[in-house]
Chains A and B, each alone.
Chain A
Amino acid sequence: MNVKKVEKRSDPGYPSKRQFAEKAKAFGLAALGLGSLITAGCERVRTGGLMPVREGGASIVAPKPETPPRLRGDIRVDPNHQPQAVPPSGTAAP
């Protein structure tokens, strides 16, 4: 199965926050306040193992620092890499 480009798509039938802010009255609606518009219902955590379907109110969060510049090549460029030795830990199997 391959990736398929979605050629063209019109906006869904509900407004984005920006569109809502511009046209709330036209929609016959009034915002009740801004605070929860941004963060309502968002538990900004991800439990281990869960695919990160994140939905937090990111619009008021400043971007994270830039990550190091991209290097060319795939992560397998160093096939001889060996993990460093670590002190033994844990208990042996009974």
Chain B
Amino acid sequence: MNVTLCLTHDCNLRCAYCYAGVKSARRMSWETAKRALDFSFEQSLNRARFSGHEPESQLGFFGGEPLLEWDLLRRSAAYADEEAARLGIALKKTVTTNMALLDGQKAEWFRANHFYLGLSLDGNAAMHDTLRRFPDGRGSHAECAKALAYFRGPEARAEVIVVVDPRNVIGLADSVEWLMEQGVCNIALNPNFYTEWAEPAQETWRESYERIGGLYADRFRRNAPVRVNVFDGKIRVWLKEGYAACDKCGFGVDEIAVAPSGRLYPCERIVGDDTNAELCMGNVYDGFDKERRACVVACRGNTVEECAECSVRDRCMNWCSCINYATTGATDRVAGIVCFHERLAINAADRVASALFAERNPAFLAKFYNAARIG
């Protein structure tokens, strides 16, 4: 069971593309956090009994900005560790932060407590400050990027999340290059599908992925590969000839998000300002609203007829329910912009991977095939 606790609706930034709803001081109480953890562990144990697998759980901290609730985060993580150990549940912990409050002490605490971090930073100052600003309108890059120093190199258990939006896509390739220069080895490009992408922006997006593909390939040629989720993801999905059932969205089944109020949603991207009645699946005190949850779960996936015969359907993320919902209003209807992006990503990844394979690039072969040339 993956559970994400949205610790607060508040945030110290006002990013223009934020989907997390109106910012307010509503925060999660300790009682709600504890109940959410107990509830998620109950679910993990139930699922393990049902599947016959060892129980496991992933706990994510999200917001708003979760570091605004530092004491609650620490207390919740400590309780989760204790309970998971007592119940025999393998626990992974993640946090997604905008980095503005992330100093050396906190970075060390996360390291010591085995967290995996999502660091929201849109690359260089020009791209980042376009949309990620403080409430007073100042760009936040200078304050947020300082903490990158704690997460350099391939051993860092962190990824830098770059939100790609039509208003900042012009700086995307430069930003990825800048991140690589800073020593970031794990870059996640996170498209904003919640907005209109006009054709010129789509074209810029296409050109950017081509250039990023060149940067990505260059790192293999220098024997210093980096991970860029769009490229690594599409290459690996081809290696195993399509997404497996267990790769797909756990939306409402083994993936839940808890709003500060304790209400349950199928994904943290749906929580918003906690007013979505059609996707609210209960609360941590009374448990699941079974009828509503069954309805949410049943309507996952993709029912668009054109997709059924598409030759890249097995490598396409048309099943991501929260993106489908955000773009089409239905969890099972994929939007044209997602189709555009998936074709773009598959083509860009295949071009790079085909070239590196043709070269028999040692780093590429080692990373994706654990193989080497004979002789």
Q: Do A and B associate with each other? A: yes
Say whether B27 contacts A59, CB under 8 Å. no
Mark out the residues of chain A between 8 and 38 whose CB falls within 8 Å of any chain B CB in the assembled complex.
Answer: 8-9, 12-18, 20, 24-25, 27-37
Determine the chain B residues whose CB is within 8 A of the CB of A18 once the complex forms: 241
Q: B167 contacts the other chain (Cβ, under 8 Å)?
A: no
Interface size class of B (residues with CB under 8 A): 35 or more
Would you call B354 and A14 a contact (CB within 8 A)? yes
Q: Tell me which residues across on chain A come within 8 A of B367, comparing CB atoms.
A: 40-41
Does the CB pair B26–A37 fall under 8 Å? Answer: no
With both beta carbons as reference points, the residue of chain B lying nearest to A1 in the complex is identified as: B336
Interface range on chain A (Cβ under 8 Å from partner): 35 or more
The verdict on B268 contacting chain A, using a C-beta distance below 8 Å, is yes
What secondary structure prevails in chain B residues at the interface with A? Answer: mixed
Contact in complex: B190, A4 (CB < 8 Å): no
Interface residues of B in 320-375 (CB under 8 A from A): 320, 323, 330-332, 334-337, 339-340, 343, 350, 353-358, 360, 365-375
A84 touches which one: B240, B289, B297, B331 (CB < 8 A)? B289
Residues from 84 to 122 in B contacting A, C-beta threshold 8 Å: 92, 94-96, 116-118, 120
Please indicate which of the listed interface residues A47, A64, A93 has the most CB atoms of chain B within 10 Å of its own CB.
A47
Contacts of B240 in A (CB 8 A): 16-17, 57-59
Chain A residues in 8 Å Cβ range of B60: 46-48
Taking a contact as CB atoms under 8 Å apart, the answer to whether A55 and B374 are in contact is no
Contact with B along A35-71 (1 / 0, CB 8 A): 1110011110111111111111111011111011111
Interface string of B143-186 (1 = CB under 8 A from A): 00000000000000101010000000000000000000000000
Q: What 3 A-B pairs come out closest when comparing CB atoms?
A: A47-B118, A13-B354, A1-B336
Q: Show the binding face of A for B, using Cβ within 8 Å.
A: 1-9, 12-18, 20, 24-25, 27-37, 40-43, 45-59, 61-65, 67-71, 73-79, 81-84, 86-87, 89-94
What are 9 A-B pairs with beta-carbon distances under 8 A?
A50-B118, A54-B247, A61-B244, A67-B298, A75-B278, A78-B295, A86-B261, A86-B285, A89-B32
B residues in contact (CB < 8 Å) with A: 2, 4, 24-29, 31-32, 47, 50-51, 53, 58, 60-62, 92, 94-96, 116-118, 120, 157, 159, 161, 188, 190-191, 193, 197, 227, 229-230, 232-233, 235-241, 243-249, 253-254, 257, 260-263, 268-269, 277-280, 282-286, 289, 292, 294-300, 304, 306-307, 309-312, 317, 320, 323, 330-332, 334-337, 339-340, 343, 350, 353-358, 360, 365-375
